[in-house]
A and B are shown apart, each in its own frame.
Chain A
Amino acid sequence: MSRDGSLLLEFTNVNTYYGDLHALKNVNYTIGKGEIVSLLGGNACGKSTTMKTIMGIVRPATGTVIFDGKPIEKLPTSERVKLGIAPVLEARRLFPRMTVYENLEMGAYTQPRGARFSEDLERVYSLFPRVKERRNQLGGTLSGGEQQMVAIGRALMARPRLICMDEPSMGLSPLYVEQVFDIIQEINKQGTTIFMVEQNANMALSIAHRAYVLQTGAVVLSGTAAELRVNPLIREAYLGELKVDVAA
């Protein structure tokens, strides 16, 4: 199930542990080229662990992770970045004592310097004029919304084919949440596949093509965003946000 039918990322029977804690339980996902796929779920259900498993920060005990037809579960993180996977981390995680410009440079760490770098930088600056204004400020001194823009810009600097976003709406004011989600949609239209972990199901389902619902490490539901938006199970059990919204 993908925009043009071919898969960019496949997660097959993935099991991940932290010591005795079984954090991902036989998880299966697919992400098609060009899609926005969202992974929904409450606190501590394994959303960030999924992200970290894709990036290679944690290794699955069993299962395969295939990116563009190539198994990557044994590759180090740096190789995965070179293949075209870039993260937007939970709570943004800018390098706090580096300038915005240096943060963007770090995003381009695996990329050759030169004309391409300037091109990518211009692209980020035109998507986020605010980031350009702030380019000489330290990452730690920006507001949450500004940091999120830099974090997304930093991911774009890697020329990714897949951006993995961990709760991009977390801690942002509603105005910034709107903006961030508009930008995510824009970036997707420009050709980048998006995998987005979210607690804010309402917002996520408004831009995602498909979504999976994770509960204590296991996928319990999946479908198109349109299906999930009206699924009573979701409203009852998993997505407080949606329930409130529907009631209102």
Chain B
Amino acid sequence: MTTADLFLQQAINGLSLGAMYSLLALGFTLVYGIMELINFSHFNVFMVGSFVAMVTLQMFGLSGQDTILTGLPLVGVMLVAFLASMTLCGAIGVAIERFLLRPLRAVKGPAAMITTIGVSYVLFNAVLLSIGADSKNFPNPLPPLTFAIGGAVLRLREILIWIISLVLMGGLTYFVQFTRLGKAMRATAQDPEAARMMGVEVDRVVMTAFFVGSALAGASGMIFGLYYNLSKVDIGFAAGLRAFTAAVLGGIGNVPGAMVGGVLIGLIEALSGQVVGTAWTDVIIFGILVLVLVFKPVGLMGRVAPNKS
């Protein structure tokens, strides 16, 4: 491979990682936009999502990379796995909001945020105790089809990741821009009290934000498995922190910002690995987080957070 090809290859990888971070960052941004809460349980909802996808694929008799599916069975199995992890994660998100965070809604200060950290560890330990600490092989039934772009290789996996991510982000954008509940979400993020006086039931909006954000984390968790061919109980922390950085980079509370921020972080991760070595990746990513917080705290695309009233 020439240097240009290597860069192209890393850009392809970076876009897949970026799609994964974008989907995960959206959950942080949706919840923060509506209730100014950093939801640390999101890290491990993502991790649970990757295991739900893994178990679902295994239930179809798939293990490792040995069983290849094509045609309708492939599409069906992948769809079922995505839907299973999204639905289950969405339900976990809703349960966390309904039973643990809603009772704290009126409590000022960091109580809710600390609760989300606790929930994160509960999820972590539940998976640790039931599945174990070692790395699990993530089934990948995709045919080893590749396309050459110059000297770089585009695999079917990347195409699948990109299509799923585009569909989900397009769907989210449509939902937020054009549906009644989506508009209620935007209104609540901009002025919660005024939204309430329009007749918006804020509980429903908060619940929707948790469901949608957590479902996207589920999809992101499945993408993690497909990308790395593994899942592991501690994947939530590194991926979650990067996705959180992506959300801050794009301007926390800002939906398109989280998408753009995620792709940028993915590209930075892949390309910095190429240029200066993977040991430096975290230094660069978190260096960016610090620089953004210091010099442009509203993020690249501006903050869309609740007005104080």
Contacts and interface: CB of A to CB of B under 8 A. Distances in A.
Interface string A178-218: 00000000000000000000000000000000000000000
Interface stretch (B84-92, B185-193, B217-225, B265-273): B185-193
A42 to B, nearest CB: 22
A130 interface: no
B198 A107 contact: yes
B186 A81 contact: no
B197 A76 contact: no
B74 interface: no
A97 B197 contact: no
Contacts of B307: 96
Contacts of A78: 196, 199-201
| Interface residues of A, dominant DSSP | mixed
Nearest to A91: B309
Interface size class of A (residues with CB under 8 A): 20 to 34
B194 A109 contact: no
B190 A95 contact: yes
A98 interface: yes
A77 B199 contact: yes
Contacts of A77: 196-197, 199
Contact of B199 (A97, A98, A110): A110
B209 interface: no
B195 interface: yes
Contacts of B34: none
Contacts of A102: 183
Given A96-B190, A102-B183, A109 B196 contact: no
Given A93-B191, A95-B191, A109 B186 contact: no
Contact of A98 (B186, B193, B200): B186
B184 A109 contact: yes
B304 interface: yes
A57 B309 CA distance: 12
Q: Which are the 7 A-B pairs with shortest beta-carbon distances?
A: A81-B199, A110-B199, A93-B194, A78-B199, A109-B199, A109-B198, A95-B190
Interface of A: 55, 57, 76-78, 81-82, 87, 89, 93, 95-98, 102, 105-107, 109-110, 154, 158
23 contacts: A77-B196, A77-B197, A78-B200, A82-B199, A87-B197, A89-B194, A93-B193, A95-B186, A95-B190, A96-B191, A97-B186, A97-B304, A98-B183, A98-B186, A98-B190, A105-B183, A106-B183, A106-B184, A106-B195, A107-B198, A109-B198, A110-B199, A158-B198
